[in-house]
């Protein structure tokens, strides 16, 4: 700027810079295995269901194979390999649960440290209800931009868990009723 422009400038005028940050238009596509970012309710259910289903598909045959290595059925026959496999399964499951819960809490504009509330009985039930039923923050929040809309695959997987739970409840009611016939 020249000295003439500086002299003509009003120090009390509004700045010429655009103040719109476009926060509402900013979206990102969340990856399934990441500790950063946010995921919504349906994506939380879908990711949890899919990963735990795959882990069970791997662990059930592995545990079955290691249970019969000793020659007898039952937990006393499970060798060291079975115990190591079970410990590994639990560690992977806990890490994935922490990862998904942290990202869901971030969507609710809460710190991932809130996950530690799962340790406290009764409070863990309330936290699970909070994660599943409360909507996330609209637009960007302290933990990043909002995730993109759910794909058809995420919607199908997300609704499979409640559908299977409802089917299980109905089966638990119907099977004893018809068993007496």
pLDDT tens profile 127-162: 999 999 999 988 888 888 888 888 998 999 889 888
Assign 123 a pLDDT band (cuts: 50, 70, 90).
very high
Task: Tell me whether residue 1 is in a domain.
Answer: no
Cα 71 to Cα 8: distance, rounded to the nearest angstrom: 95
Identify which has the larger pLDDT, 31 or 49: 49
Q: Is residue 156 part of a domain?
A: yes
pLDDT beyond 90 at 120: yes
Domain that holds residue 160: 35-170
Residue 22 lies in a domain: no
The answer to whether position 15 is within a domain reads no
Residue 13 domain-assigned (yes or no): no
Coil, helix or strand at residue 147: strand
Judge whether residue 23 has pLDDT over 60. no
């Amino acid at each position: 700027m020249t000295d003439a422009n500086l002299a003509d400038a009003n120090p009390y005028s509004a700045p010429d810079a655009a103040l719109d940050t476009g926060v509402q238009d900013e979206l990102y596509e969340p990856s399934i295995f990441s500790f950063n970012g946010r995921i919504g309710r349906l994506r939380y259910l879908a990711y949890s269901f899919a990963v735990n289903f795959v882990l069970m598909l791997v662990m059930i045959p592995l545990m079955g194979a290691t249970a019969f290595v000793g020659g007898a059925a039952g937990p006393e026959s499970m060798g060291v390999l079975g115990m190591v496999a079970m410990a590994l399964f639990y560690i992977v499951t806990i890490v994935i649960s922490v990862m998904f819960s942290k990202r869901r809490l971030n969507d609710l504009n809460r710190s991932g440290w809130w996950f530690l509330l799962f340790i406290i009985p009764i409070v863990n039930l309330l936290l699970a209800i909070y994660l599943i039923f409360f909507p996330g923050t609209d637009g960007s929040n302290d933990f990043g931009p909002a995730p993109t809309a759910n794909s058809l695959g995420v919607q199908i997987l997300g609704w499979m868990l409640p559908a299977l739970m409802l089917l299980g409840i109905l089966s638990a009611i119907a099977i004893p009723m018809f068993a007496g016939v």
